[in-house]
């Protein structure tokens, strides 16, 4: 044995380590007889069985293959997830866009739902382009239901930028309670747009160089001549509305609230959409069923609600309703200034003697009972008051506070004192 070779160290070296280092059995020796053996080994020692080395080598190979497969699968999943979340690898347009299209965002639409609609309209090359761009602009989350004008074939980033601009929203209309079908002229000459004028304005957009505006007169003519049932008027209101003067047939039936008008609709489609939504709002307010608690038809309750809307502030609606019912029960004329002013297209609540002497179906100073149609678009609160008036014996009321509140009385003498007191304090 060479002097620098330690038998103990040889024992410590197992075959596995030798295999790991890539040392083969026959690397240094031509045959088994030439191999030098340590002195303490017998010449006839058993060699480690070759099959055991083969099994160890096989198991190690399978382990590496399994690990490699897991790594490949994880890498593929990571790539797919990154592509979905971060946006690389998707198709995207570039450029200023081509033609105008209208996108409808519906209640409950997620960013992904909006992205899918944009892809279907060819606004973006892929939904992923919009989703990825929206990650950098949280204003996307504030996009409200409605219609939006946008160009086709633009990048996801440009689609996001365009949609969050206020001017991208088209067709939005908010009708205020008390609005009449036709315009009214203020004392100073200013014109307050009525329902038809506001619907006309909401229909306007410039799509590919063409205006989509529907003139107010076309809407007015359609309302006057179309089949009311097909137009969307509720069944309980059709017969009474059909008896009205043609230009007043839809008065009060188009409810206040927010409407979304799609640019490109014709007059019939626009009115049908608006009336359908109005019917749902009146149903939510209790019509026609809640009218059963009164002695009047659902349409008459709507008429009463429209007068309530124009005569008082919301805090007084229940009392105003009770005055109307009490006077009708006693066969008294309503004597409401709002009904006289309705045909005069004037917003003032108070009238003069000449106005009150004018003949006409809406002059409740000369006629008993209710006017033939509503005189405005009543709110849900006014309808509720008409269905369930406050309890009381009042027969008169007058605006007696600068905040619009009225004073109510059961006798004419008390009413006169309330009027004089309000005048003395400069309320009117």
Which stretch of 44-58, 82-96, 102-116, 279-293 has the lowest confidence by average pLDDT? 44-58
What per-residue confidence (pLDDT) applies to 73? Answer: 66
pLDDT interval class at 68 (50, 70, 90): confident
Q: Which long-range contacts (CB under 8 A, 24 or more apart) does 420-425 make?
A: 422/398
The better pLDDT of the pair 349, 190 is held by: 190
pLDDT interval class at 6 (50, 70, 90): very low
Q: Which long-range contacts (CB under 8 A, 24 or more apart) does 401-409 make?
A: 401/427, 402/427, 403/313, 404/312, 404/313, 404/316, 405/313, 405/315, 405/316, 406/312, 406/313, 406/316, 406/319, 406/320, 408/316, 408/319, 408/323
Mean pLDDT calculated for residue range 322-349 = 91
Which stretch of 131-140, 186-195, 198-207 has the lowest confidence by average pLDDT? 186-195
Mean pLDDT calculated for residue range 244-271 = 98
Q: For residue 17, is pLDDT > 80?
A: no
Q: CB of 333 within 8 A of CB of 327?
A: yes
Q: For residue 124, is pLDDT > 60?
A: yes
Q: For residue 16, is pLDDT > 60?
A: no
Q: What is the chain's mean pLDDT, rounded?
A: 87
Q: For residue 282, is pLDDT > 80?
A: yes
- State how far the Cα of 185 lies from the Cα of 345, in Å rounded to an integer: 6
What per-residue confidence (pLDDT) applies to 30? Answer: 43
What per-residue confidence (pLDDT) applies to 85? Answer: 54
147-197 pLDDT per residue, tens = 999 999 999 999 999 999 999 999 999 999 999 999 998 878 889 999 999
* Cis peptide leading into residue 253 (ω within 30°): no
Mean pLDDT calculated for residue range 201-227 = 98
Q: What is the DSSP letter of 167?
A: G
Q: For residue 20, is pLDDT > 60?
A: no
Q: CB of 301 within 8 A of CB of 366?
A: no
The better pLDDT of the pair 352, 266 is held by: 266
What per-residue confidence (pLDDT) applies to 89? Answer: 73
In CATH, the architecture of 100-170 is 2-Layer Sandwich (3.30)
pLDDT interval class at 80 (50, 70, 90): low
356-378 pLDDT per residue, tens = 999 999 999 999 999 999 999 99
What per-residue confidence (pLDDT) applies to 315? Answer: 98
What per-residue confidence (pLDDT) applies to 187? Answer: 79
The C-alpha R_g of the chain, in whole angstroms, comes to 42
Burial class (CB in 10 A: 0-12, 13-18, 19+), 216: buried
Q: For residue 405, is pLDDT > 50?
A: yes
27-50 pLDDT per residue, tens = 444 444 444 444 434 444 455 555
What per-residue confidence (pLDDT) applies to 49? Answer: 53
What per-residue confidence (pLDDT) applies to 398? Answer: 97
Mean pLDDT calculated for residue range 91-102 = 96
What per-residue confidence (pLDDT) applies to 50? Answer: 52
- The separation between CA 76 and the C-alpha centre of its own chain, rounded to angstroms, equals 38
393-404 pLDDT per residue, tens = 999 999 999 999
Q: Can you give the pTM of this predicted structure?
A: 0.78
What per-residue confidence (pLDDT) applies to 352? Answer: 86
408-417 pLDDT per residue, tens = 999 999 999 9
Domain ranges of the chain: 7-47, 100-170, 193-392
Q: Which two tokens stand for residue 191?
A: 């014109």
Mean pLDDT calculated for residue range 298-306 = 99
């Amino acid at each position: 044995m060479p002097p620098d070779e330690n038998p103990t160290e040889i024992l410590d070296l197992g075959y596995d380590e030798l295999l790991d280092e890539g040392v083969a059995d026959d690397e240094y020796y031509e045959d088994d007889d030439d191999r030098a053996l340590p002195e303490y080994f017998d010449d006839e020692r058993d060699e480690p069985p070759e099959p055991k080395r083969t099994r160890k080598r096989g198991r190690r190979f399978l382990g590496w293959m399994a690990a490699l497969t897991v790594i490949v699968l994880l890498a593929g999943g990571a790539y797919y997830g990154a592509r979905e979340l971060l946006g690389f690898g998707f198709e995207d347009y570039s450029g200023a866009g081509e033609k105008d299209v209208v996108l409808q965002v519906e209640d409950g639409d997620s960013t992904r739902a909006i992205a899918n609609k944009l892809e279907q309209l060819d606004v973006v090359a892929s939904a992923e382009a919009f989703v990825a761009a929206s990650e950098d602009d949280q204003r996307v989350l504030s996009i409200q239901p409605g219609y939006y004008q946008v160009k086709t074939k633009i990048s996801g980033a440009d689609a996001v930028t365009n949609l969050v601009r206020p001017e991208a929203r088209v067709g939005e209309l908010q009708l205020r309670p008390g609005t009449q079908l036709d315009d009214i002229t203020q004392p100073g000459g200013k014109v307050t747009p009525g329902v038809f004028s506001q619907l006309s304005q909401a229909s306007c957009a410039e799509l590919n160089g063409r205006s989509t505006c529907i003139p107010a007169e076309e809407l007015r003519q359609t309302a006057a001549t179309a089949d009311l049932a097909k137009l969307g008027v509720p069944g309980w209101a059709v017969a009474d509305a059909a008896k009205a003067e043609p230009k007043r047939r839809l008065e009060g039936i188009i409810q206040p609230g927010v409407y979304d008008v799609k640019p490109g609709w014709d007059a019939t489609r626009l009115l049908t959409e608006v009336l359908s939504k109005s019917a749902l709002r009146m149903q939510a307010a209790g019509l026609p069923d809640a009218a059963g608690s009164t002695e009047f038809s659902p349409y008459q309750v709507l008429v009463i609600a429209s007068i309530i809307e124009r005569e008082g502030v919301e805090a007084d609606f229940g009392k105003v309703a009770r005055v109307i019912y009490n006077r009708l029960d006693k066969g008294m004329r309503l004597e409401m200034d709002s009904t006289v002013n309705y045909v005069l297209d004037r917003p003032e609540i108070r009238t003069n003697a000449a106005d009150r002497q004018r003949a006409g179906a809406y002059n409740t100073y000369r006629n008993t009972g209710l006017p033939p149609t509503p005189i405005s678009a009543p709110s849900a609160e006014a309808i509720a008051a008409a269905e369930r008036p406050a309890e009381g014996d009042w027969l008169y009321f007058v605006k007696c506070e600068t905040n619009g509140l009225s004073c109510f009385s059961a006798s004419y003498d008390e009413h006169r004192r309330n009027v004089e007191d309000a005048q003395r304090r400069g309320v009117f």
